[in-house]
Structure 1
Amino acid sequence: MAASFSQVKTITAQSFFLSALTINRMLASTVFKQTKGNGSASNKALKTTPFGRSDAFTRGGFAIMPHATAPLSLMLCAKEAKLNFPDDVDGDVLRRLEESGFDFLKPTTIDFNVDFDYWPPHPDAVSKLKQFAGAIEIYEPDGEYSGYILFNIHQILSYKLVIDTQENVTSLVAEYGGVCESWGVLS
């Protein structure tokens, strides 16, 4: 008997990709057998891709199906698998979001805060943040709290996205006493 996704305890990025790729190919095969070639893919020529051979049913390793999108297989795989986050503060937040039922497959707005050693922040730091993020909001100190700059991005939330964004922004504003080490989403 083959293992079901509910029996998998830990999923690595590679096993997740391979599972999604396998499901995509199975779904594509089923759909195209039922449509007898009348689906949206009509090019039967074999092509070489970075993922190996590709035929009319696949492009770059993801299936082209007449009535089902490629992310369908990712959703099927991810719904059954428990995500595995590193054991740090950001991983803890992501685990709590997962436990509360947060949908990690849909793009969401992620707020990032940038704190500064000195207020107000240097104009060059503000300019760099505007170039990086587009729109920013500046929150002045209000007695209890020191000031900060907030920006947001709208993407699929992942540990890598959070860490990379914090590191990139911190390196942009570090020379001005800035650090990006807090973020949040509305769940």
Structure 2
Amino acid sequence: MNLSPEKFPKDEDGQVLKMLYKEGVDFNKPQNVDFFVAIPDKKSGEAVLKVLSDDGFNCELEQDDETKEWTCYCFVNMLLVHEDIVNIQKRLDEISQPYDGYSDGWAVMVE
């Protein structure tokens, strides 16, 4: 895959990919990507967690000690392809919206 920083879309996801590229992340091998789903409360979070698991996602639910906000973390090992990242976020939105949740970004741990 021949990438250059100019090839990334100008949206927020494209900017993150561009930053990761400049950090030296290898786009030719799968990376562990954490997707975040913001959830209003524990009960909704547990329901979303079940639906996400049934849909094939590997997730866990956590509450932030300081803000008390609930987040469902979904872990996906994948190539960093803009379209795939956008599609996964859309899918997380679709699954979590009935529970007042929404896709709230993603991250890759850079070593």
Larger Rg: 1
Percent identity of paired positions between Structure 1 and Structure 2 = 23
- Cα 1:97–1:173 shift into 2, 3 Å: same
- Cα 1:176–1:156 shift into 2, 3 Å: same
Aligned partners of 1:133 and 1:152 also within 8 Å = no
* Superposition map of 1:32-181 within 5 A: 74=1, 78=2, 81-83=3-5, 84-116=7-39, 118-122=40-44, 123-144=46-67, 146-181=69-104
TM-score by length of 1: 0.53
Equivalent AA in structure 1 for residue 48 of structure 2: A
Aligned partners of 2:57 and 2:76 also within 8 Å = no
CA-atom RMSD in angstroms: 1.6
Unaligned runs of 5+ in 2: none
Aligned residues: 108
Matches of 1:135 and 1:88, distance apart in 2: 26
Higher relative contact order (CA 8 A, sep 6+): 2
Matches of 1:90 and 1:121, distance apart in 2: 30
Unaligned runs of 5+ in 1: 1-73
